[in-house]
Amino acid sequence: MQTRLTGVVQAWDTSHALLFCPAMNTGMWQHPLTAQHVTTLKGIGYIEIICITKKHVCGDEGKGAMADVSNIVNTVKQ
């Protein structure tokens, strides 16, 4: 089954940059499938805005939180 995000990525005009900002709880971030998905996107040439470590809404503390908005904005401007 195709997800909405996959559909957007497949329809993306590849002459334009695509940046992605992973955001999930630490358990999801550490799952091997997540690493494979990030590697696949980067292999296509998409640009990762690296997630950060912090306390998540679910109570977990660790890597996986979305990058700070200022970091995202600065990366997009570059």
Tell me the catalytic residues: 58
Contact 66, 75 (CB under 8 A): no
- Residue 46 CB partners (closer than 8 Å, separation 6+): 17, 18, 19, 20
- Closest listed residue to residue 20, CA positions, set 75, 63, 61: 75
Beta strands 19-20 and 47-48: pairing type?
parallel
